[in-house]
Amino acid sequence: MKNTIKFNKVTERLPKHLHQFIVKQPYAEYTAQNQAVWRYVMRMNIDFLSKVAHESYLEGLEKTGISAEEIPKMEGMNRILKDIGWAAVSVDGFIPPNAFMEFQAYNVLVIASDIRTIDHLEYTPAPDIIHEAAGHAPIIANLEYAEYLRRFGEIGCKAISSSEDYEMYEAIRLLSILKEDPNSSPEEIENAQHKVEELQNTMGELSEMAQIRNLHWWTVEYGLIGTLGNPKIYGAGLLSSIGESEKCLTNEVKKVPYSIAAATQNFDITKPQPQLFVTPDFAHLSFVLEEFANKMALRTGGLAGVQKLVKSKNIGTVELSTGLQISGVFTNVVKDDNNRPIYIQTAGPTALATRDKELIGHGVDYHAEGFGSPIGKLKGINLAIEDMFPKDLEVYGIYEGKKTTLHFEGNIIVEGEVITGKRDLKGKILLISFKNCTVTHNDKVLFQPAWGIYDMAVGKEIISAYAGPASVNSFKNLGEVSATKTHKISYSEEETKLHKKYQEIAEMRKSGEVDFLRLNLIFEKLKANFTSDWLLALEMYEIVYQSNTGIETEILKYLTQLKKIKKYEQLISNGIRLISK
């Protein structure tokens, strides 16, 4: 990350591994046509959404410093967002779901730095600054919704992914990039679309992350609020899409009450949505989120939680009843006849922590080869090790210098000489270390003396399992920035000339002084060389409207002619309607 990116009080709290996703907003790369696209979409949206969006929308636009006249600068947004405890950072397109959620947990909006092309003005398959800045930012001015968003990030970043989820993320990212790039070939897009569909058909059971991503989509992105008969818009995807914001309120789009059932309702990010969920109020969003969180391994732990981590093949954390947290890539969990976990195993760098703080001496350098430990009580003893007082530990042969044999339920046997232990601030024992130690399960050796010191976790049960490490400082290479970069559109010499004409017209509008001679020359070149560009003609018509000049009549006639092209008809009609208001 370049050191030219400035941090404020909110973004300074971000953990280091999230910095890799932040990019410098390429403001100088926005063309005058890009600015015109922003202006058109925003003016249309504000005009329409003032009637159909949640009341927080227009108020939020003012509070977050977003103007319809020009693409917002991240620095300016952040100066205003800080007053409501939030911030924004620029990123390159889609970022991994866990990282996206974690940014939210820190009250930071991630804003895709690119802007949709004129060809995808009504709806874009890729995240862009209109969607992120004009869609997400205004609604967070509503404090109840902002807290929902933060809480969603806090819970969502702990959701466990499957190994297929990241492959799907990469496939969708590539498809959205190709669809937004006007220079992509039909064959490239078709192959990328086929890959996404292929993965969708073979995903199997939805992971926690896939389900919570669905909840995010049907609320934060495409949510409606109010009654089924008279809903209002609050989802960013709808607030930033001219086409969908109108269509979603018609009978063409099915409306259903928002519930936890939305977690299993998949979506296609590259197409308009045929069904939307309606929440009665923002409080209900938090209610459903908590309902879902109660089903997550984060809160249920147990055998199923560890099995989800094993399946994910990514760094995750198991928390024991003592508060000891084990973070690493879990490769195995041994269960007993009653389906209780009796032994857990990681492979590769592992870190131990308590209260999200790494235990001194038990980081990834020390546990570089992995970590394994029995879980549960000793066989025939009702008192768990974690509940034993010093005298109890002595009675059962668990004290420094003692060669002992610990026979756990489930037939895990630990034999070795006790060296020392680790306790938390309240004196509860978390870890017992042995030398000359052998650990077995029936006839299988799980640890042998030649491997060195054996550190045994203390805990009678697994109370939580979640994605990511307990301590964000334990692992240096958390997360992964996609190797597939958003395409920087290359413009031809003719397109560059067109953009300069957009700039000239924008300067006339801003100054309030129209050079009719120059305007007429631009109009003639537009008709001769750029016959499919309707937006520049509309920009020109706006600054000569009601001027009672021949050029006004000529431009309107030209726009009327362009309306015969079906894909431009509604866009031009809406633009003229707004100008004539």
Structure tokens at 168: 């799907």
Distance of CA 231 to the CA centre of its chain: 26
Contact 35, 565 (CB under 8 A): no
CB atoms within 10 A of CB 126: 26
The CATH code that applies to domain 314-467 is: 2.30.30.100
Contact 131, 109 (CB under 8 A): no
pTM of the model: 0.87
3-state SS assignment for residue 192: helix
Structure tokens at 24: 């410098």
Task: Give the domain 11-291 fold.
Answer: Phenylalanine Hydroxylase (1.10.800)
Domain locations in the chain? 11-291, 314-467, 493-579
CA angle 363/366/371 to nearest 5° reads 85
226 has which bridge partners?
231
Burial of 204 (0-12, 13-18, 19+ CB in 10 A): exposed
What does each C-alpha distance from 53 to 135, 221, 226, 240 come to in angstroms? 11, 13, 11, 11
Contact 282, 225 (CB under 8 A): yes
d(C-alpha 181, C-alpha 173), whole Å: 13
pLDDT tens across the length of the chain (581 residues): 444 566 777 888 898 889 889 988 889 999 999 999 999 988 988 888 888 999 998 888 878 878 889 998 888 888 888 888 898 899 988 888 888 899 999 999 998 888 888 888 877 667 788 887 778 888 888 999 999 999 999 999 999 998 788 888 888 888 888 887 778 888 998 898 888 888 877 777 899 999 999 999 999 999 999 999 999 999 988 888 777 888 899 999 999 999 999 999 988 776 778 899 999 999 999 999 999 999 999 999 999 999 999 999 999 999 999 999 999 999 999 999 999 999 999 999 999 999 999 999 999 999 999 999 999 999 999 999 999 999 999 999 999 999 999 999 999 999 999 999 999 888 889 999 999 999 999 999 999 999 999 999 999 999 999 999 999 889 987 777 777 777 778 889 999 999 999 999 999 999 999 999 999 999 999 999 998 899 999 999 999 999 999 999 999 999 999 999 998 999 999 999 999 98
Contact 314, 329 (CB under 8 A): yes
Contact 278, 291 (CB under 8 A): no
Structure tokens at 139: 């609604």
Half-sphere exposure of 529 (CA within 13 A, CB side): 15
d(C-alpha 189, C-alpha 126), whole Å: 13
3-state SS assignment for residue 324: strand
Contact 573, 563 (CB under 8 A): yes
Give the strand pairing for 429-441 and 444-447. Answer: antiparallel
State the Cα torsion 388-394-398-403 to the nearest 10°: -170
Q: Do domains 11-291 and 314-467 have the same CATH topology?
A: no
Contact 505, 540 (CB under 8 A): yes
What does each C-alpha distance from 507 to 182, 502, 503, 530 come to in angstroms? 27, 9, 6, 20
Biggest distance spanned by C-alpha atoms of the chain: 103
